[in-house]
């Protein structure tokens, strides 16, 4: 038996990809499936996206690319974290495309690759993590012709952020230095910028929005919900007013209460920051149609919920923790993080139910 039940709607996922593809217009819509498809399972997600029409995928690591290649023999697969030392031959064997982010990587690729072996080039336009700086573009070997030039937004989810405009201008200047090479800049939120018609370029690479996350924080979520997380109530306990619940006695009842314990905890991706204390409200759960407050700290394998106001609660009932009336981004806000961390922290202990596309 599993502690939690994670329901993943692959039809909604495919619909989200189609919606984003429509927004992208003539630009190709790839899919970011790194971190095990944002925690939802590469082996289920990639076939659903292939069936929807996706033909290019982005992963972070070579090991992830192996899994995608086994599912998508004809897909174009980019490995974002670049080229490991002495790794060229493995990329050639599986027809994988490294995203090269330094002059050293470019030099190694050219030295150990066939002349027409495709690779992407990452240019840093302000994030200061990976990628060549714009001045380094002039130092690229004349015989290097990338299959794609790309960069990544710093804060495209914040409308009107000046750094986004600076990044767009920098990327345009880079394109002039490498003319006639396909280009990609937009992530999920970038697809919803007002300047989209000018910045979709040749390819967009959404990730979070595919999985139901809101690419437009502060506005209604245009994407379909993909994920629902539930756990069964495994014990009910009647307690008096003034009684502490959970580790360190940081939360106390203020009335005679019914406390339910569910078999799911921070080891299953529900972060400790979702716990309730005297100073922090914490997360919520929906039990028998009623929104209930969490009670006390989150344990490794257990969460306690104040179900006093929920009708007819019995052992074995389900508590909804993410999805339905508890939108992913709202849960993330209560847990003082973002939806990306929620999704990628879900772990492997849940029963996984995939609704077919």
Binding region for substrate: 129, 300
Query: What would the DSSP string read from start to end of 90-155?
Result: HHHHTT-EEEE-SHHHHHHHHHTS-TT---EEEB-SS--SSSB-GGGGGGS-TT---SEEE---SS
CB contact at 8 A, 69 and 94: yes
Q: Which residues of 50-60 are buried (b: 16+ CB within 10 A; e: fewer)?
A: bebebebbbbb
CB within 8 A of 120, min separation 6: which ones?
78, 97, 98, 99, 100, 146, 147, 148, 149, 150
Q: Distance (Å, rounded) from C-alpha 274 to C-alpha 332?
A: 9
Active site residues: 34, 247
Name which of 117, 161, 109, 97 is nearest 140 in CA terms: 109
As beta bridge partners, residue 305 has: 260, 294
Tokens 């927004």 correspond to what residue? 23
């Amino acid at each position: 038996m599993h502690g939690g039940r994670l329901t993943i709607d692959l039809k909604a996922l495919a619909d989200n990809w189609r919606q984003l593809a429509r927004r992208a217009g003539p630009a190709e819509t790839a899919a970011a499936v790194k971190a095990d498809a944002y925690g939802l399972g590469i082996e289920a997600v990639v076939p659903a996206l292939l069936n929807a029409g996706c033909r290019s995928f982005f992963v972070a690591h070579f090991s992830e690319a192996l899994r995608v290649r086994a599912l998508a023999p004809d897909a174009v697969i980019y490995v974002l974290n670049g080229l490991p030392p002495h790794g060229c031959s493995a990329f050639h064997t599986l027809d994988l495309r490294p995203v090269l982010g330094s002059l050293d990587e470019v030099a190694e690729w050219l030295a150990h690759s066939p002349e027409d072996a495709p690779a992407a080039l990452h240019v840093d336009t302000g994030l200061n993590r990976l990628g060549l700086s714009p001045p380094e573009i002039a130092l690229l070997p004349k015989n290097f012709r990338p299959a794609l030039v790309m960069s990544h937004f710093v804060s495209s989810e914040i409308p009107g952020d000046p750094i986004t405009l600076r990044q767009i201008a920098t990327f345009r200047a880079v394109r002039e230095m490498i003319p006639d090479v396909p280009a990609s800049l937009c992530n999920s939120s970038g697809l919803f910028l007002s300047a989209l018609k000018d910045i979709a370029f040749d390819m967009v690479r959404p990730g979070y929005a595919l999985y139901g996350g809101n690419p437009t924080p502060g506005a209604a979520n245009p994407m379909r919900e993909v994920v629902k997380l539930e756990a069964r109530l495994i014990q009910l306990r009647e307690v008096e007013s003034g009684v502490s619940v959970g580790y360190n006695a940081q939360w106390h009842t203020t009335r005679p209460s019914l406390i339910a314990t569910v078999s799911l905890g921070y080891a299953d991706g529900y972060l400790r920051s979702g716990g309730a204390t005297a100073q922090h409200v914490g997360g919520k759960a929906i039990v028998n149609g009623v929104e209930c407050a969490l009670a006390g700290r989150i344990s490794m394998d257990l969460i306690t919920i104040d179900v006093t106001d929920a009708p007819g609660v019995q052992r074995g009932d389900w508590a909804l923790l993410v999805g339905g009336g508890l939108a992913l981004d709202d849960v993330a806000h209560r847990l003082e993080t973002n939806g990306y961390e929620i999704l990628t922290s879900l772990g492997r202990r849940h029963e996984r139910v995939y609704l077919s596309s």
